[in-house]
Copies of this chain bind each other. A is one copy, B any other.
Amino acid sequence: MTGETDRKQAAEHLALTLVGAGMQRMAARVLAAFLFTDAPSLTAGDLSEELGASAGSVSGAIKMVMQMGLIERAPAPGSRREHYRMRDRAWTTLYGRQHAPIDDILSAVAHGVETVGPGPARERLIYMRDFYEFLLSEVPTLIERFEAQRSGQHRGESRP
Contact = CB atoms under 8 A, between A and B. Distances in A.
B37 A121 contact: yes
A52 interface: no
A78 interface: no
A142 B131 contact: no
Main secondary structure of the interface of A (DSSP, over half): helix
A14 B107 CA distance: 9
Interface residues of A, number: 59
Interface string A121-135: 111111110111011
A115 interface: yes
Given A7-B116, A101-B21, A158-B122, A13 B108 contact: yes
